[in-house]
């Protein structure tokens, strides 16, 4: 008899008690989730995360003392040396491009609006826990298109691009470019006439070869190096 997988350890960070209570109720009712703690501001979020080692941190943006963007940067930013930093799911009432962009650059793996239904919220936690990126559908492609220019650096883009081209096979590079377009595994499978399971394998290889945490980082790197469609 196989042993059931460990539950997803969730830390809830929001300055509103009613919101935290709602989240805890929803997540605790899931058979594959365990709420390991709560935090009311960014400082508490960072301290609790380092103490409790959650798999996913559900992070509000606007919190006192230290906001969710800064807390995310401390926990999962690009310079973090931790081998297993938590995945950060930013949940906010503000559908503002700048917040999404700042959250993703800070190291978040997902962005969702607070008016999302409970089923979408719990599925978002499962998605980021698997190492996949998650953005509210209403902002995904708009975000990528709007910020493509901001994601291209003036510095070492050429050498970064050459390293990626050398590291990936032609097929992996094609998948990488589709990821940068914001396509899901199913959409990539349709575009390339392969199965979603094959796409999933390609994505795992790409992330491992490039040392990337998840698909969000892949999107950022693709645009910064000019390897995304229309940015070369």
Q: Which residue numbers in the chain have pLDDT < 70?
A: 1-4, 77-83, 95-98, 132-157, 229-232
The pLDDT value given to residue 232 = 43
Residue span(s) of the chain under CATH 1.10.10.10 come to 157-225
The pLDDT value given to residue 56 = 94
Burial of 6 (0-12, 13-18, 19+ CB in 10 A): exposed
Residue span(s) of the chain under CATH 3.40.50.2300 come to 8-145
Instruction: Return the CATH class of domain 8-145.
Output: alpha beta
The pLDDT value given to residue 116 = 82
The pLDDT value given to residue 83 = 60
The pLDDT value given to residue 133 = 65
Q: Write the DSSP string, 48-110.
A: HHHHH--SEEEE-SS-SSS-HHHHHHHHH-TT---SSPPEEEEEES---HHHHHHHHHHT-SE
Structure token pair of residue 78: 């690009």
Q: How many helices (H) and strands (E) does the chain have?
A: 11, 6
3-state SS class at 12: strand
The pLDDT value given to residue 139 = 53
Per CATH, the number for 157-225 is 1.10.10.10
Burial of 66 (0-12, 13-18, 19+ CB in 10 A): middle
């Amino acid at each position: 008899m196989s042993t059931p997988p460990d539950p997803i350890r969730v830390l809830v960070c929001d300055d509103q008690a009613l919101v935290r209570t709602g989240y805890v109720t929803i997540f605790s009712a899931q058979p594959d989730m365990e709420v390991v703690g709560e935090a009311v501001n960014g400082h508490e979020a960072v301290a609790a995360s380092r103490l409790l080692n959650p798999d996913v941190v559900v992070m509000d943006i606007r919190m006192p003392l230290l906001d969710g963007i800064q807390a995310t940067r401390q926990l999962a930013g690009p310079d973090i040396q931790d081998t297993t930093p938590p995945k950060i799911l930013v949940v906010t009432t503000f559908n503002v491009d700048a917040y999404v962009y700042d959250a993703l650059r800070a190291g978040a793996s997902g962005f969702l609006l607070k008016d999302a239904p409970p089923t979408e919220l719990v599925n978002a936690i499962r998605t980021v826990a698997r190492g996949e990126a998650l953005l509210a559908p209403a902002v995904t492609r708009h975000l990528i298109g709007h910020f493509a220019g901001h994601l291209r650096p003036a510095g070492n883009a050429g050498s970064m691009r050459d390293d990626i081209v050398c590291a990936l096979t032609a097929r992996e590079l094609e998948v990488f470019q589709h990821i940068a377009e914001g396509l899901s595994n199913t959409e990539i499978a349709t575009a390339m006439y392969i199965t979603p399971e094959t796409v999933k394998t390609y994505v795992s290889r790409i992330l491992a070869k490039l040392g990337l945490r998840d698909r969000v980082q892949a999107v950022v790197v693709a645009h910064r190096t000019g390897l995304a469609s229309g940015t070369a």
